[in-house]
Each structure stands twice: as C-alpha cells, then as structure tokens.
Chains A and B, each alone.
Chain A
Amino acid sequence: MTGLLYKTWEELESTFEHSFGKTTDFVKVPVMFNERKCWILYYSSLVGSANLSSKLMLPFSQHAGKAESLEQFRAAALASINYMYLTDWIQIARQLNKNSVCILVEGEYEALSIEIGGYTERSISEPEIQQSIYGPKIAFTESIETNISIMRRVLRTKSLQIESYDLSSDKVTGAVLVYLDDVIAPELLQEARQRIQRMEGKKVATLNHLLEGLRDDKKANFFPTLMINERQDSCVAQLLEGRAVVFMEGSPQGIILPAVFQDFFKSPEDAYVPAAMMLFMRLLRYCAFFITLLLPGIYIGVINFNYEIIPINLAIVIAGLRSNLPFPSVIELLLVEAAFEIMREGSVRMPKVVGNALTVVGALVIGEAVVQAGVVSIVVVIIVALTGLSSYAFTYYNFAFSIRLLRFVFIGIASILGIFGVFLGCVILFAYLVNQRSFGYPYFQMNSKRSLL
C-alpha cells in the first residue's frame, strides 16, 4: 500500500473516519505547526495525559513555532523518544494501537509516530501463585518493559538478548523471547524463533493462545511441556541453565521453554536451602507425586481385589470401618473425591473475604458429618485428604492439575482390574511420558544438563 498518505489536506478528516471508525477514544487534534496545519492523533485509552503533556505538548508549544520541518522539530524537542516515520495508514493504525502518538503536518507526506505510553499499570507485587519463603518478592507484571527490566536488573550482562515479535493478525500484540546467547543451544533458539514466528498472523490475544502455539503436540497434552512462571529468581535460574523465556504483553507470567518432567519438581526455594534439605524436599515432592497419582487407585485395588496384602491388624480395622456402609468402596471414594474437588474449585472462585471460611467449614463440617452419618468410612476421608494435600506440594499449578485429573483414571482402572490395573496404568503412563517431547528434548530426561538426543 505504498502511496501518499493524502492527496489534499481537506480529505484527511474523512480518511480518519474511514481508517479508525467512530470509536470514541480516538482523539484527533488539529494544531498549528509553524504556521502550517497539523493533526495530532492518538488513542486516549492508550496514552496517559500526564505523559502526553510532559513528553509532547510542552516541547511542542516551545519548539513547534520555530521548527522548519517535522524532523527538525523531533530532533530538537523529542530527542529521547522512540520514533518512526510512517507512510501507510495500516502502519499508523498499528503504531497508534501500540501506545503511540502520530503527528501529521501539512506538506509532509510522512507521519511521525512517537511512543508516549503512560496508561495506568499495576505496580510490581509479590508472587501469588508460586509462594516461597526465601527469594525476591518480585512477580512479573502485565507489561513487557517492566518484566524485561525485572530480568535485566539481575542479569546485567550483554549476553542477555531480547527479541521482539509482533503477534496476532494485526501485529500489535507484543511478545519477547529472552535468552542468554552464550548459554542457549543454537538448535533450541532456532526452534523457539520458528515457533513464535509461526504465531504471527494468528489470533493471539492471551497467553493461552501462545501456549497452544508453542507446544509440541497439540492433541493429547496431558502433562505440561511448558512451564508458566511468575517468579524472577526461577526465571533467571532457568535462563542461566540455557533455557529461554517468552513474555507476552498483558500476561503477568513468563513461559519457560523447554520444560521436562523433572523441572516441575524443582522449586525456586531449593537454591536457598542446604543441599541435603533440598534433596529431602525434592524427594518429598516425588513422593507427593506418587501419592496424588496412585494412592486412591491403590486403595481401591487393595480393598476390593487384593485384600490379602494388607497387614492383618490394618485389615481388621478397615473391615470394621467398612462394615454396614451403604455404598461400594469405589462409589464412596468418588463421592468424597468429588466433594473435595468441588470444595477446592469453590474456594478458588470465592471472593477473598469469604474464601477462608468456605475451606475450613467445608472440610470440617462436611467431612465430620458424612462420617458421623455413616455414609462414608473415615478411611476414605483420610485417603482423599492425603491425596489432596499432596497435590499442593508442587510449585507449578498446571502440573498438579494433570495429576489430579489422572488419578481418576487410576481409580477407574483399579476398580476394574485391581492392583494389576494400577501397575498397567503406570506402564502406559510411563510409555506416554517417555514418548513426549518438549522442544525436541525428551520429556523424561532425568539429568539436569540439557541435550538434544
């Protein structure tokens, strides 16, 4: 669409309407630029008034009368601001959507676009999902600039490289690929670039869309192959280990790629504690993984099929607790699991003011009442509570979610095939996980050093 921005100055007003519609936040201000007519264009929703007056209006009133051309004015008055000359209405629209202000001067056929920004942003706050005892209390925000700044404040090196991409069909949604060029494997970088570029021209509004585009296997993705992270320290640690981080405008989380199975058992806290303690905690998390995944299934298998493997004293107690109950063990377990899941979901969606009340009341009242009424046995409540607690041991919520879901599969298979079924399920799961790839890296790679096999 190369061509002149306008033929006659008078037709411009209709061109604006044609290009930008009648949206009310589009501002067009006619001003005088050294005796020449001039338009200033911007979106009032994307440009803060304080920034506008200090960065543009003040210099404009001082220098515009003296400048002979737009470039002379820019060089004299707007020296420190990012700028761009545009000759195309589509590009102008794009730049306006990226927090810029455009200036059109009569007689000049290039529009000056300068980045002003300054709309209200959330300030840096503490991490809320990935809680940790030690470490910086800094979480990423919705702004890419802030996030990059957060990263560079720690990694003050020239090898920290940032590549910007304009995603979505309008090419306005910004995303950046952050990496350390002396650490990252070239193949990984190449692959990451390709996948992000693949997203250009596609609908990318939120992090979900980007995640879907970056994933390896788009169909059956039971375990997360990408890590969503909101903490500065763990992102820096991942960068130093040769991984890349992708930030997107409007999302307070970074996507770390690649992420393999064992990465989800690491916590940013691990680095702050002695090695023995770290090992213990990591072991604990692996235990929690198996408890969350298998305990309900093993319980059903043992209770319903392989009763003989329970030690006699426990067997007698379980038989005593299970006597005269209305439901079969499987139904009973599923009931309590469902109650627990609903409680968990409910407490997430609850307004913060009443959130605490629900979990405590729910757990105490429902659990106690149900056992007292003789509807379910207390063993099942113990199993579900232990399983539920274990699922909170993971630092990464999306990983815990996969396991939570899979354990129902294990309950189902155990109720048909018993302990044998549980182990069959384990074999199938293992085969599936071994088959997974994250950016070409085997998902079950167990050594910390990343290498493409």
Chain B
Amino acid sequence: MIKLRMLLAGLVCTVLMMTLGGCADRIEPGNLLVITAVGIAKGEKFRYHFYFEGINPSEFTETKRQNISNSFLFDNEADALSGAISAISQEIPLKPEFSHMQLIAIDDELLREGDYDYLDFADRFDQIRNNLTLIAVKDKAMKPIFSTTSPSLTIPSFRILMQLNELHEKVGGNYPTSLLQFINNLTQSGRNPILPVAQITNPSDKAESMDYAKQLDKQTKMDLHAIAVFREDKMVGELKDREARNVIVLQNQAKNTIYNYSCDAQKTISSALQYIAVNKKVMYRQNKPVLKVYMHATGTINSIQCANYFTGKSVEYTKINKELDRTIEKELTATIINMQTKYKSDIFGFGEKLRISDYKKFKEVKDRWNEEFARADVEVEVRVNVQRSGIRGEPFTNRIKNKKY
C-alpha cells in the first residue's frame, strides 16, 4: 500500500514536472541569433528605423570559421522596438536573443527632440540588461557606425565599447553611460544626463568591406571624443575633447587623466593624474548660489619640454604642483562657466549635491534649478600632489643645454 502510494506520488511529481517545468523555455544556442547592439534612428515610413547588429558565431570558432564577416547588420522600420524584433524573424531563421545586448545607439535627431518612446521596451523587457551602454550618434551615421570594419576585425559594437572604456580608464575622456544611469538622470531633478557621442570620420563604402582590414592606412575612424549635453530632457549640444574630459573629471568619474600647462612658448609640462577625487558643494550666499569644487589628485610627471625647468629637487615639485593647481582650476572654472552661459544645464550634479545637503532649499529651487545653476558663482580649488617623475629625474634636455663644447 505504501509502495503504491509512493509510486503514485512519484508519477504525479514527474507528470507535474514535465508539464509545469520549463521545457517550453528550452533554447539551443546553435539556433540563437545573439544581438549585441541596437541602433535607433528616425524612420521615414514608420516612426523609427531600427538597426540590429547580430553575431555570426561560427566565425569565433577554430573549426567552423568561413572567413566571412563576424557580425551583420540588418534594419527595418517600425513604430516600436517589439515590432522590429518580430520583423527580424522574417529575415533570419534564428531566434533573436537580447540578453547579451550591450549597446544602444540613438541618433541625435531623436535626442534633440526628446523622444524616448523606444526606450521603454529596453527598460521593461526582461532579456535586456539595464547596464548596457547608451551612445548618441551624429550625422545620421547609424549604418556606418555598425558596419565599418575595425582594424582588429572585432564586432563594431565591441569596438565602440572597448574604445570608450579605454578612453575612460586611461585619460577620462569619456564615460560609458548605462541605460539605468541615463534614465535616472533623466527622471531625477538636480542633474542633467550626458551621453558619449560617436562619429565616423571620413565615412566611405570601402570601409564597410572585409578587405578594408587588409589596408594599412585607415582613413575611416571612429571618433568618441565628444559628449552630448542635455538640458532637461532634450539634447542641446556637445562638448569636445578637453571640455568633455573636464566634465568627466567634475562628475568625479575620471580615474586617470593628463593635464598640461605651458612653460615656454609652445612648450608644455604634462602630468598624468591618478587617484582623482572631486568633491562638490553648493551653498547659498546672499541668496546667490555658490558652486564649490574641491579636487585632489596625485600626479606623475609625464614630460618636460622646457630645458632647465626641472632638476628633480623637491622645491621644483612644489612649483609644478602650484602651476598645475592653477591650470586645472582655470580649466574647470572655464568649463563650468561655459555650461552656465552656453547651455544653462547642470550636467555635473551640483543640484544633486544640494538635494543631499540642503533639501529644504533644493525643494524651493527645484523647478528652476538650471537657471539657478546658470547664475551661480563658481569657486574651484585644486590640490595636485606630483610625487613621481617616472624613471628619470632631470630631463636630458638639461644636459644638452648645459653641455660645454
């Protein structure tokens, strides 16, 4: 009797497991189309034009490689991302898999209009991770972005991410903003979002073929040295190179960067900074906001172009420290003032600091914070501590200059 009951219980369990188990969700990786990036631009027939970058996985194996392209781009127009996904199956007999998507590129036209209707799907869909990187694409160059061969023959979206991360790690030139951060900054008051801007210089059809990788001189390049500036929910402009870097530093996102100052006509001293810490503070002085920035960093001398400027004594380190302090103060102040006057947009997160430190005041000025930011005084204080000079103390140019013939 007990045996029979056990047998029946086992049978019921097995049947329940077979019917209620996840067999229906079963996937075979061989039948998957791994989508690594999605590009969104304004459409002509429908609202949006979607670009999908799919992986050709057999190119990544030793045995099944056919030496064809390792990713492919296909596009279609639709009113929503979900519609575009269902349209993929009409083109490719594989099941699209979005779990490994790591890049969404958005045409700057959409960003300038403040149109984010396509992003809700990415925010909501369980397969899509919300730590994927968002970039803005300039000049309606969505197609070349995803189809230009990279020198190392990697997948274009991998290349963008690697380049972006390298830029961020080494010189703090840009910051890979994630979907979650972007949406947070869009929805919260006190900080306007930024996005990295991707741009193809010298786009050409030739660069979209695999043979282009064989050429030594590559004219078509990916430029990621700019950031898109938003005011409220619309993109209003972009900052390039050093200004972009200063913004990243002021956001306290930079790990390493390089600052130069001139010591002579056209000659510079450059120093690599590490352990950069930036503290921001907002306070009201006579009903006028004051933006205070305090930055501390450790530096290494990168290069000294002026002869007889530096001999390795500690007094000279102090001199370089002071010069660097002044240069960085000037640069950061200029960047903030530029933002105040040109875009009136607080992308640094001063409002956020005020919200944390003085919520009462912030509640008062919340709705007009960007205006408050624009009229604020700026006080920047920088303390750089240059401690190292590489493996050389005195530059060899000193010895050339002091040589007696």
Interface of A toward B, CB cutoff 8 Å: 303-305, 307-308, 312, 315-325, 328-329, 371, 378, 415-418, 420-421
Decide yes or no: A416 and B23 within 8 Å by CB, A319-B29, A319-B34 being known contacts: yes
Asked whether B57 is an interface residue with its Cβ less than 8 Å from the other chain, the reply is yes
Interface residues of B in 9-39 (CB under 8 A from A): 17-18, 21-23, 25-30, 32, 34, 36
- Note all chain B residues with C-beta closer than 8 A to A319: 29-30, 32, 34, 55, 57
- Note all chain B residues with C-beta closer than 8 A to A417: 17, 21-22
- Note all chain B residues with C-beta closer than 8 A to A378: 63
A319 to B28 Cα, complex, angstroms: 8
A321 to B28 Cα, complex, angstroms: 11
Q: Nearest-CB distance from B338 to chain A (Å)?
A: 38
A356 to B10 Cα, complex, angstroms: 43
Please tell me if the beta carbons of B102 and A312 are within 8 angstroms of each other in the complex. yes
Task: Write the chain A residue with the least CB distance to B100.
Answer: A312
- Note all chain B residues with C-beta closer than 8 A to A418: 22, 25
Please tell me if the beta carbons of A323 and B30 are within 8 angstroms of each other in the complex. yes
- Note all chain A residues with C-beta closer than 8 A to B30: 319, 322-325
Interface centre among A303, A322, A325 (most CB of B within 10 A): A322
Decide yes or no: A315 and B29 within 8 Å by CB, A320-B58, A320-B61 being known contacts: yes
Please tell me if the beta carbons of A305 and B57 are within 8 angstroms of each other in the complex. no
Interface residues on chain B, size class: 20 to 34
Please tell me if the beta carbons of B28 and A316 are within 8 angstroms of each other in the complex. no
Decide yes or no: A303 and B22 within 8 Å by CB, A308-B127, A319-B34 being known contacts: no
Asked whether B97 is an interface residue with its Cβ less than 8 Å from the other chain, the reply is yes
Asked whether B64 is an interface residue with its Cβ less than 8 Å from the other chain, the reply is yes
Interface of B toward A, CB cutoff 8 Å: 17-18, 21-23, 25-30, 32, 34, 36, 55, 57-61, 63-64, 97, 99-100, 102, 127, 129
* Main SS class of interface, A: helix
**Can you list 18 A-B pairs with a CB-CB distance of less than 8 A?**
A305-B22, A305-B25, A305-B27, A307-B27, A312-B36, A316-B34, A316-B55, A316-B60, A318-B29, A319-B55, A320-B60, A321-B61, A321-B64, A323-B57, A329-B29, A417-B17, A418-B25, A421-B21
Q: Nearest-CB distance from A415 to chain B (Å)?
A: 8
Q: A319-B32, A420-B22 are in contact. List 19 more A-B contacts (CB 8 A).
A: A303-B29, A304-B27, A305-B25, A305-B26, A307-B27, A307-B97, A307-B99, A308-B127, A308-B129, A315-B100, A316-B34, A319-B29, A319-B30, A319-B57, A320-B59, A323-B57, A328-B28, A329-B28, A416-B21
Q: Nearest-CB distance from B101 to chain A (Å)?
A: 9
Please tell me if the beta carbons of B97 and A323 are within 8 angstroms of each other in the complex. no
Q: Nearest-CB distance from A408 to chain B (Å)?
A: 16
